[in-house]
């Protein structure tokens, strides 16, 4: 195995190639449509990292995607396709708003209660989906899709209730401030504090003007925890066994039904947590009537697959995804190219991640060819050696 | 009462038609062993291509055809990934769902000066012609022609799958590709064909929204119908006629939600809107139960590997 083929076998290589091809395809489409690809990409990168404020917004946007990405990746490793991340996320936001608005405890209690209830909501939906699969063999894809819609209408129902509906708007009341997880919230709202933040060099403005919150730290911890759970614990081992071969797992005494339910509950909990932290961390801290899905869950599918379903790899994948989404808006503003080009970039990246097996396959072929060549040379060498030492062989050859 | 009943029937048919095309596409693809999560995206592209075709030529039938071709082309991508490159079919399908609506909207903005929706275009005709039975209680029974096409397609898919040798081949490839190959059936060719057909049908499904129901392309013309179609495939246990029935059930519950909503009952409209999805889950638990996919569904076929 040479260094080249070793590099080709690394999963990260597939990801980098996929990203490169995604940008290449987008450039070709931009050229065909009559836009300048170079200035488009300049605008894209400028919109992602041009100012500390932009970076801060990318991180904020990445937070829910990281959670739902881990959720999908985790379930996928257990052989379940959690297309219901969207609904579980929505349920997390709904419950966080109900509890966060109805209760007003001191922050040390309020924040955990709001976040835990939201998480439990997501976990509950996930557990139902997992249990229906384990108990009745009902495909999780159907129930997930159904619960997405049920959650959407549940959100609209709660917003419409008089006790939660903010008059003259399409949204609910905001939760009580005691539940906010926005960083420096108190400082921002006092004159001295705001002044102090503004005076911080470089990032002061970004902190002041964006909803910097604790979400991303929780999300990164969650990614590492889920990675550890999956790869380093007995629980994770059993789940992966279920994902790899359900019958074999059953045969070795692993409780498949329990694991399916538990897996979906954990996956749903992560989505619910994402929803709850969005409510506590980001203004307007409320839910609004949904006309369509906001894709915080569906985009988690893409994040998971860009990360090749590795929970820790979801961290860079979610940043990339959020960066493209956020920076993509600038492309339309400055170059005029439709911002849908970003969807095409992301779609192409995921598509080539799906083709990810190709590069290791090529590496195998290269190695195989090399090995064959080496074998041939060895045979030649051996033939020469035997030629030299065995003259009778030569005679025999001549005779033929 | 009679008017309501007739309305219920016609709204049921209207809502279920796009689902039927999409779901039949899913059936064809999955019976050959390729999971197709990308129906939603293929429907989206069809929805746009249909309108574009009708807009540019003035003939909605050419638009309908364009929709099929566009869906088929997108499906070709999925086929290449799943069949030639043995990609994970779920991941490829998710990619299609990102790519295809992106392409549709991008093209829409190019064609219509940056607008995310098209102007109104010529629609496909009604079954009995425009204005037939007007002023009678039966006027809403004059359904879109796509309703009939969907039924015919379902019968055709059933006939091909169960009454022809090609159908036998498709089903065998979906159940046991290695055995089929030993009988001289090309697994690759069969699967390619089925995935492309599935895209064509999904494209028709998209067009039956934008050329029959709403007569223009908008960003939300296809929002989730493809996923419901996917659910209908599983609900219908991968059989064309059962899947047709599953789509009718979805359409019926939607129609029921519409008729019950609008202040006719004291139940809040959002709760009524949830009904179709609850009914689906309950029906699954009580009457349908475990659904078994074609054995090789989602499994890449690698020649010479152990089955």
DSSP string covering B64-120, please? HHHHHHHHHHHHHHHHIIIIIS---HHHHHHHHHHHHHHHHHHHHHHHTTT-SSPPP
Q: Which residues contact B95 (CB under 8 A, 6 or more apart)?
A: A302, A305, A347, A348, A350, A351, A353, A354, B38, B81
CB–CB of B220 and A291 under 8 A? yes
Does A90 score more than 60 pLDDT? yes
Contacts with B, A 66-95, CB within 8 Å: 76, 81, 83
Work out the number of other CB atoms within 10 angstroms of the CB of residue B240: 25
Contacts with B, A 353-372, CB within 8 Å: 353-358
Instruction: Pick from B77, B107, B224, B277 the residue to mutate for testing the A interface (most A CBs within 10 Å).
Output: B277
CA distances from A371 to A105, A358, B198 (A): 70, 20, 42
Cβ of B236 under 8 Å from any chain A Cβ?
no
As a whole number of angstroms, the distance between CA A129 and CA B41 comes to 25
Section B155-171 average pLDDT: 96
As a whole number of angstroms, the distance between CA B199 and CA B32 comes to 14
Is the bond leading into B263 cis (omega within 30 degrees of zero)?
no
As a whole number of angstroms, the distance between CA B87 and CA A351 comes to 9
ipTM score for this prediction = 0.89
CB–CB of A355 and B81 under 8 A? yes
- pLDDT digits over A168-177, tens only? 899 999 999 9
Cβ of B277 under 8 Å from any chain A Cβ?
yes
CA nearest to B97, candidates A145, A333, A244, A33: A145
Measured between CB atoms, which of B100, B268, B281 is closest to A157?
B268
DSSP 3-state of A191: helix
CB–CB of B110 and A156 under 8 A? no
Report the DSSP beta bridge partners of residue A288. A171
Section B252-261 average pLDDT: 84
**What's the confidence (pLDDT) of residue A391?**
53
| pLDDT grade for A73, boundaries at 50, 70 and 90 | very high
Cβ contact B153:B159 at 8 Å = no
Q: Is B135 exposed, middle or buried (0-12, 13-18, 19+ CB in 10 A)?
A: exposed
Cβ contact A280:A188 at 8 Å = no
Q: Report CA B73 to chain centroid distance, whole Å.
A: 16
Section B40-62 average pLDDT: 96
- pLDDT digits over B111-122, tens only? 998 888 899 988
* Cα diameter, chain B: 66
As a whole number of angstroms, the distance between CA B28 and CA B180 comes to 17
Query: A141: which chain B residues are within 8 Å (Cβ-Cβ)?
Result: 230-231, 234
- pLDDT digits over A120-147, tens only? 999 999 999 999 999 988 889 889 999 9
Compare all CA atoms of chain A with the CA of B220 and give the residue at the minimum distance.
A292
As a whole number of angstroms, the distance between CA B110 and CA A23 comes to 20
Separation in Å, CA of A337 to nearest CA in chain B: 9
A81: part of which helix (H) or strand (E)? none
As a whole number of angstroms, the distance between CA A90 and CA A70 comes to 16
Cβ of A109 under 8 Å from any chain B Cβ?
no
Cβ of A189 under 8 Å from any chain B Cβ?
no
For residue B132, what are its two tokens? 């037939």
CA nearest to A155, candidates A92, A234, A226, A225: A92
């Amino acid at each position: 195995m040479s260094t080249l083929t070793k590099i080709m076998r690394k999963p990260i290589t597939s990801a980098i190639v996929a990203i490169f091809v995604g940008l290449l395809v987008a450039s070709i489409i931009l050229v065909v449509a009559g836009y300048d690809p170079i200035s488009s990409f300049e605008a894209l990168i400028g919109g992602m990292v041009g100012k500390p404020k932009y970076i801060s917004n990318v991180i904020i946007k990445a937070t829910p995607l990281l959670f739902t990405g881990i959720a999908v990746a985790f379930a996928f490793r257990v052989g379940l396709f959690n297309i219901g991340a969207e609904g579980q996320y929505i349920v997390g936001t709904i419950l966080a708003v109900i509890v966060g608005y109805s209760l007003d405890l001191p922050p040390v209690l309020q924040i955990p209660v709001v976040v835990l209830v939201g998480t439990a909501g997501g976990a509950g939906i996930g557990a139902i989906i997992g249990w229906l699969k384990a108990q009745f063999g009902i495909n999780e894809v159907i129930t997930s899709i159904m619960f997405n819609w049920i959650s959407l209408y549940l959100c609209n129902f709660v917003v419409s209730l008089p006790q939660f509906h903010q008059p003259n708007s399409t949204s609910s009341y905001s939760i009580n401030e005691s539940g906010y997880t926005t960083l420096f919230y108190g400082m921002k709202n006092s004159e001295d504090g705001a002044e102090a933040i503004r005076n911080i060099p470089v990032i002061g403005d970004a902190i002041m003007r964006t909803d910097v919150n604790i979400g991303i730290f929780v999300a990164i911890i969650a990614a590492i925890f889920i990675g550890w759970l999956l790869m380093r614990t007995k629980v994770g081992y059993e789940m992966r066994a279920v994902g790899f071969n359900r019958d074999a797992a059953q045969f070795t005494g692993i409780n498949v039904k329990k694991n399916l339910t538990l897996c979906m509950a954990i996956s749903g909990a992560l989505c619910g947590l994402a929803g709850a932290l969005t409510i506590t961390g980001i203004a307007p801290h409320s839910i609004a009537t949904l006309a369509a899905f906001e894709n915080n869950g569906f985009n988690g599918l893409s994040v998971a697959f860009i990360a090749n379903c590795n929970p820790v790899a979801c961290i860079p994948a979610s940043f990339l995804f959020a960066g493209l989404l956020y920076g993509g808006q600038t492309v339309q503003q400055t170059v005029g190219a439709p911002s849908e080009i970003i969807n095409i970039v992301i779609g192409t990246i995921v598509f080539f991640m799906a083709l990810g097996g190709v590069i290791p396959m090529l590496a195998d072929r290269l190695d195989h060819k090399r090995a064959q060549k080496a074998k041939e040379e060895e045979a030649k060498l051996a033939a020469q050696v035997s030629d030299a030492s065995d003259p009778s062989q030569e005679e025999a050859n001549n005779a033929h | 009462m009679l008017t309501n009943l007739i309305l219920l029937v016609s709204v049921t048919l209207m809502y279920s038609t796009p689902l039927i095309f999409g779901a039949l596409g899913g059936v064809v693809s999955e019976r050959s062993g390729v999971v197709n999560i990308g129906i939603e995206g293929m429907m989206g592209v069809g929805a746009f291509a249909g309108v574009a075709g009708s807009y540019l030529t003035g003939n909605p039938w050419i638009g309908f055809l364009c929709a099929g071709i566009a869906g088929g082309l997108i499906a070709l991508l999925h086929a290449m990934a799943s069949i030639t490159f043995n990609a994970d079919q779920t991941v490829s399908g998710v990619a299609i769902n990102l790519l295809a609506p992106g392409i549709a909207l991008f093209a829409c903005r190019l064609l219509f000066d940056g607008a995310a929706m098209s102007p109104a275009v010529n629609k496909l005709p009604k079954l009995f012609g425009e204005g037939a039975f007007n002023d009678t209680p039966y006027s809403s029974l004059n359904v879109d022609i796509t309703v009939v096409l969907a039924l015919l397609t379902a019968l055709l898919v059933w006939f091909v799958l169960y009454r022809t040798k090609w159908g036998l081949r498709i089903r065998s490839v979906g159940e046991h590709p290695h055995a089929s190959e030993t009988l001289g059936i090309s697994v690759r060719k069969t699967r390619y064909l089925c995935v492309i057909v599935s895209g064509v049908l999904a494209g028709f499904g998209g067009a039956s929204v934008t050329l029959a129901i709403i007569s223009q392309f908008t960003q939300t013309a296809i929002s989730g119908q493809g996923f419901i179609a996917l659910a209908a495939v599983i609900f219908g246990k991968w059989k064309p006629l059962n899947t047709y029935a599953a789509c009718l059930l979805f359409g019926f519950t939607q129609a029921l939600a519409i008729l019950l909503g609008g202040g006719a009952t004291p139940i809040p409209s959002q709760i009524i809107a949830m009904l179709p999805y609850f009914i689906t889950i309950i029906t699954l638990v009580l009457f349908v139960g475990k659904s078994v996919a074609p054995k090789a569904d989602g499994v890449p076929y690698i020649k010479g590997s152990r089955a």
